[in-house]
Amino acid sequence: MKRLMSGNAALGEAAILSGCTCYFGYPITPQNELTEYMAKRMPESGGVFIQSESEIAAINMVLGASVAGARAMTSSSSPGMSLKQEGISYLAADELPAVIVNMVRGGPGMGNISPAQSDYLQATRGGGHGDYRTIVLAPSSVQELVDIVPLAFDLADAYRNPVIILGDGMLGQMMEPVDFSDIKKPKDYPKDYILTGAENRPSRMVRSLLFDTKEEEEHNWKLYRKFQRIEANEVRCETFMTDDAEIVVVAYGIAARIAKGAIKRLRQENIKAGLLRPITLWPFPSKNIVELARYVNDFFVFEMSTGQMIEDVKLALSGRGHVNFYGRPGGVIPTPIELARIVSRHYYQTQKVKRQ
């Protein structure tokens, strides 16, 4: 049964259905609808809702709820995400599960409230201190947002690591029909590390201060081995019309939907364009790009920023093929026609060069 909902609200419902019992949020456009939805629905479902005094307090409440054994979530938008970075580093260091939502908006600084993709590096490289990674999931529709929420909670519990859902203002505020029936009751994950009071058991401590450098080093390599497992097992991406593609656009989230529109137009002009859409931004689908590079020479990275994911594309290709870029930062929303024209112009210029 489908319901017409905004991305933010749908995300809230999906979280509750995924067993999230604690939500801590702070007002910031363009994600307010999620906080407001949780303010109503979380108490109804017997869970905890707090509008915190800051995004810093919210992420630390998530840490507390998580170490106490609950599935906890917070959400914000770009400036608020910057405030949460310290907390995210502590979640990773303490190996605690948590889901953090970023509806990205135009930046840097105050920026604006329009959708953007300029937090890619903050999300995938980690904006906090220390060697840690966060799994980053990038949905490109409200339905996929709903499908990704239970996955985010499961990955967080399975790997005991913070997971970031990277959306944007458009994805959060636009409305699309969604169906929640695929969300199953969450599996039980071992919770032998949580703090419940040392009743008839030895006391536990959860901490990330390791004065002894050898201990801290080993802790880092232990986390590193976890991240390697994630990179090996959790990559997700979608390909669209790439089988016979001569030129492949690489785009994620809302930009990928714009790219699909552009690709359909290009195909009408007999330009064989395709799309590779990373769904996990970390771990990045490097192997999938390298595979395409076996027969594709021309890659077109399209982002709503001045170009951040392009670094991962170049890293994956390490010199193979040509990597072109088209981006519109600052909250501008490019149109499919616009991208189609840019790609076709590039296509014909390179064809002319080939013919000469």
Partner 1 sequence: MKKIYTRPASLKEAHFHYCPGCGHGIINRLIAEVIDEMGLRGKAICVAPAGCGMLVYNYFDIDTLESAHGRGAAVATGIKRVRPDNLVFSYQGDGDLAAIGTAEGFHAANRGELITVIFVNNGVYGMTGGQMAPTTLKEQITTTTPSGRNPVSAGHPVRVCEVFSVLDGTSYLERVAVNSPSGIKKTKKAIAKAFQHQINRTGFSLVEILSPCPTNWKMSPIESFRWIDEVMTKQFPLGVIKEVKC
Residue 76 binds to partner 1 (criterion: CB under 8 A):
no
The backbone region for 200, taken as left when phi is positive above 0, alpha when psi lies in -120 to 50, beta otherwise, is left
Q: Which is nearer to partner 1, 50 or 292 (CB)?
A: 50
Residue 68 binds to partner 1 (criterion: CB under 8 A):
yes
The window from 106-114, 205-213, 283-291, 302-310 that contacts partner 1 (CB under 8 A) reads 205-213
- For the bound state, the minimum distance from the C-beta of residue 157 to partner 1, rounded and expressed in Å, comes to 15
Integer Cα distance of 22 and 72 in angstroms: 5
Cβ contact 329:106 at 8 Å? yes
Residue 8 binds to partner 1 (criterion: CB under 8 A):
no
Q: For residue 273, give the 3-state DSSP assignment.
A: strand
Residue 261 binds to partner 1 (criterion: CB under 8 A):
no
The C-alpha R_g of the chain, in whole angstroms, comes to: 21
Residue 82 binds to partner 1 (criterion: CB under 8 A):
no
Residue 88 binds to partner 1 (criterion: CB under 8 A):
no
Q: Where in 94-123 is the site for partner 1 (CB under 8 A)?
A: 94
Cβ contact 172:103 at 8 Å? yes
Cβ contact 240:100 at 8 Å? no
Residue 53 binds to partner 1 (criterion: CB under 8 A):
yes
Amino acid at 28: I
- HEC string of 274-323? EEEEECEEECCCHHHHHHHCCCCCEEEEEECCCCCHHHHHHHHHCCCCEE
Integer Cα distance of 60 and 78 in angstroms: 18
Integer Cα distance of 173 and 159 in angstroms: 30
Residue 197 binds to partner 1 (criterion: CB under 8 A):
yes
- For the bound state, the minimum distance from the C-beta of residue 148 to partner 1, rounded and expressed in Å, comes to 24
Angle of helix 32-44 relative to helix 7-17, nearest 10 degrees?
30
- For the bound state, the minimum distance from the C-beta of residue 127 to partner 1, rounded and expressed in Å, comes to 15
- For the bound state, the minimum distance from the C-beta of residue 20 to partner 1, rounded and expressed in Å, comes to 12
The window from 44-52, 103-111, 296-304, 341-349 that contacts partner 1 (CB under 8 A) reads 44-52
- For the bound state, the minimum distance from the C-beta of residue 49 to partner 1, rounded and expressed in Å, comes to 9
Q: Which of 110, 195, 332, 337 binds partner 1 (CB under 8 A)?
A: 195
- For the bound state, the minimum distance from the C-beta of residue 98 to partner 1, rounded and expressed in Å, comes to 10
- For the bound state, the minimum distance from the C-beta of residue 167 to partner 1, rounded and expressed in Å, comes to 24
End-to-end CA distance of the chain: 58
Q: Where in 206-235 is the site for partner 1 (CB under 8 A)?
A: 206-209
- For the bound state, the minimum distance from the C-beta of residue 103 to partner 1, rounded and expressed in Å, comes to 22
Q: Which of 65, 100, 178, 262 binds partner 1 (CB under 8 A)?
A: 65
Q: Which residues contact 108 (CB under 8 A, 6 or more apart)?
A: 118
Neighbours of 192 (CB within 10 A): 6
Q: Which of 204, 229, 322, 345 binds partner 1 (CB under 8 A)?
A: 204
Cβ contact 235:285 at 8 Å? yes
Pair type for strands 298-303 and 322-327: parallel
- For the bound state, the minimum distance from the C-beta of residue 212 to partner 1, rounded and expressed in Å, comes to 13
Q: Which is nearer to partner 1, 131 or 234 (CB)?
A: 131
Positions in the binding site for partner 1 (CB under 8 A): 21-22, 24, 48, 50, 52-54, 56-58, 60-70, 72, 86-87, 90, 94, 195-200, 203-209
